[in-house]
Structure 1
């Protein structure tokens, strides 16, 4: 996780350095203007794509295989049909997903105004001013390149996915843990102390959440019998359940 953070920071530093070099090239070697801009568009597009892909890639959450848990005794089981019926009535979850989808949409289209900025700044605004001093022209070009990229980084922090929600579509609870075979989700008992367990009796679900790096990971376990599930989590998962 630390390595990925360092890589991310170095990537952004590298891009900003490249933008400054592009500004220097445009000021002192204007004959390469077209090549510079084409290179810039390719690099910035690739950087944004890689950054978005990395931000959406889920972290590795499980270091336990299902067979280890299945060696225990099964205590509780919920099939996919029951979960689907309960999901249809959980409008709170729909609202959460709607907000996440809205953020994801904004995150995807933010690159459009950034490219518009470059076009307007370099082709419509900057040509209106006659800047004979090369140093001042260099500063103007650096501002034109670097400022929108910094704004892009700020928007990434705002719109970046911070919560990963997993709805267990069908699962079995054993005295050794929880297994959702269709989703390859395995949670071992006893639960680690960084898990927060909440019972939503009105929504017919129990939420297990924990911090994992820069994410908050949520597991939603739907069942008609939430008291039995919470009792199982308390007795075998050694969890303190919070009722909401």
Structure 2
């Protein structure tokens, strides 16, 4: 069996390769797009950046994430060899995570595994945002920004803005205002598909951040739509730390 590996700093690459070869399998190490050309049956990533880069390729094979952040059940780097052995012995359990296509003004611009944000580029500059789903406006809010988080990403920016933690395996997202002008502002848990964000008023530049990466600015009346048109299969092994300790 071929096992694809996207390495990272938390674990030495030779440790990963040795664990795979001891199980009688073949390791292919490299960038996300390169290892998929080998048609691997299992994929291994080390660290958040490696996981996100591989998720962008929408692989068919399951991914064993190692040393991932909270929200992703994964083993620590020090347990990598044992975790790989467990996965190759069939001890893992697959869990699916929604993977979102980010559409800006009708054009796909990116994909997201964790979260999507509209936020004012300058600190403490309030803009106004509309939140909707399937063409129906749910609410509007004046705030520094709005974050939409999947279960895998609900521990991050959304949690810092007092959003809820979402259970792994659910097909929902949370929508949370960032530093709202009114302290009574709500957050929402919605079906992941068809959520929309619009910029109603921009008192400063509004940036689009996808999984923490800056994807440019969104102007007034700009409309963002999130499409849950795929899932990522993550493999959970006994050595994995809980997603929400």
Fold conserved between structures, TM > 0.5: no
Structure having the higher Rg: 1
TM value normalised by structure 1? 0.25
More helix by share: 1
More strand by share: 2
TM value normalised by structure 2? 0.25
